[in-house]
Amino acid sequence: MDKPITIPKQLKQMRFLRVRFKDKRAFENGWQKKPYTYEEIQNYFPKENYGVICGSDIRVLDDDTLKEGLKKLYHDNFPDTMEVKGHIYFKFDNKHAKKIIFESKVLLFPDLNGKLSSHLGELQGENTYVVGPGSTHPSGVIYEIVKDLSIATISYDKFEEVFGDYFKESKPKIIRNHKPSEWKGNKITDIPIGNIISFEGMRDVGRECLQGTHPKHGSANGMNFRVDVKNNSWTCFRCNNKDSRGCGGPAELIAVMEGIKDCSEVGAKCFTSEEGSKIIQIAREKYGLATPELSEKDLGEIKGWANSVSIIKLAEKHDFKNCPICGNPFKFQDSHGMYYCKTCKYGGGLTKFAKLISEQTKNDK
């Protein structure tokens, strides 16, 4: 007696749709808005086919090449996982859900119908589905399980590294009108990159990143400069090297644009005290960085509790030894309970220092 056809238990947490028997077409319109659960879809299968809805919870590699080149690439680089004839099921370690189309950039290959094509296959994603295992193909062949295994979770970054050369390039969105914000604040690292340079003409390359020509020294191919809008940082691919130079945040970009540093020189802790002071001054004059207000009382009076509280130990306890504006170390005068930044001319007494620590703790949360 033949074993009854059932939907694999590995798919128990997935979403489903009804699919016409011996067909790939959805049985109902609007299936994206009314998916079936694992239990509900059992009422229609195997009299009908069924589809597995893809997205952030499940990805399916659909190989359309005759020699199964995409599947081989997966098997050579990633762990075994549930596999159905023509389909490899897995999950990513992040929420990336966009559909990816694979194509050859140079050669044409015969597709499953024998026609020459640059199309290699797809990684099914959001608002797509694949016909589920156990269903019947239009040819009458069953979508059989090849590897009855748990569904593996793999690194998206590694997947992009392995398959990236075959990603079909979509037409990038180009920024036409750039509008700087009205930012004002007291931390130079918070100045939006888009207030220092214009994004006009740059391309949206995904993941909240823009790419285009370096705004200072130009580019041979027009794509040597990338801005990570989310992290408020930038990278120059011409000048970037193992020392992390040719990249940074707002302070480093101001230094490059104002000619204080060459792009190839910027990186972690690259400024002298004089250069840091100049960058702070420019940030205050041009980009909304606030100038701290200091009084003689802040800088001169010995606080009563300074005799019993060490400002140095307070700084060490809360790991608050650097200026929140420029990042350079504070100078402490323990006898007076004072702190001071030589670069920003920013300082005060114990009361103000304790308030700074409290505000920073809230921001970190």
How many percent of the chain have pLDDT more than 70? 86
CB 18 within 8 A of CB 35: no
pLDDT, average across residues 247-255 = 92
Q: Helical H runs in 25-119?
A: 38-41, 69-77
pLDDT-derived band at 324, boundaries 50, 70, 90: confident
Strand, coil or helix: what is 122?
Answer: strand
Handedness of CA 40, 9, 25, 43 (dihedral sign): negative
Q: What is the mean pLDDT of the chain?
A: 85
Q: What is the pLDDT of residue 110?
A: 54
Please tell me the predicted confidence (pLDDT) of residue 306.
Answer: 47
pLDDT tens digit string along 57-115?
A: 999 999 988 788 899 999 999 999 999 988 999 999 988 888 999 988 665 555 556 56
Which range has the top average pLDDT, 131-135, 279-283, 346-350?
Answer: 131-135
Best CA proximity match to 200, nearest among 219, 179, 176: 176
Q: What is the pTM of this model?
A: 0.49
Of the listed ranges 154-158, 214-218, 255-259, 341-345, the one predicted with least confidence: 341-345
Give the pLDDT mean for 304-332.
Answer: 78
Higher per-residue pLDDT: 15 or 167: 15
Compute the average pLDDT of residues 211-232: 90
Average pLDDT over residues 106-125: 71
CA distance 165 to 168: 9
How many helices and strands in the chain, by DSSP H and E?
9, 21
Report CA-CA distances (Å) from 314 to 187, 303, 351: 22, 15, 12
Tell which residue, 284, 303, 287, has the closest CA to residue 345: 284
Task: Give the per-residue pLDDT at 18.
Answer: 97
Q: Which residues is 52 bridged to in the sheet?
A: 16, 130
Cα separation, 234 vs 180, in Å, equals: 17
173-286 fold: DNA Primase; Chain A (3.90.580)
Contact 52, 132 (CB under 8 A): yes
Q: Which range, of 35-44, 166-175, 283-292, averages the lowest pLDDT?
A: 166-175
pLDDT at 287: 94
The count of other CB atoms within 10 Å of the CB of residue 146 is: 15
* pLDDT score of 22: 93
Q: Structural domain boundaries of the chain?
A: 9-166, 173-286, 296-364
Residue 270 token pair: 């690259």
How far apart CA 34 and CA 15 sit, in angstroms, is: 9
Given a contact cutoff of 8 angstroms between Cβ atoms, the answer to whether 158 and 77 are in contact is: yes
Note whether 195 and 204 are within 8 A (CB): no
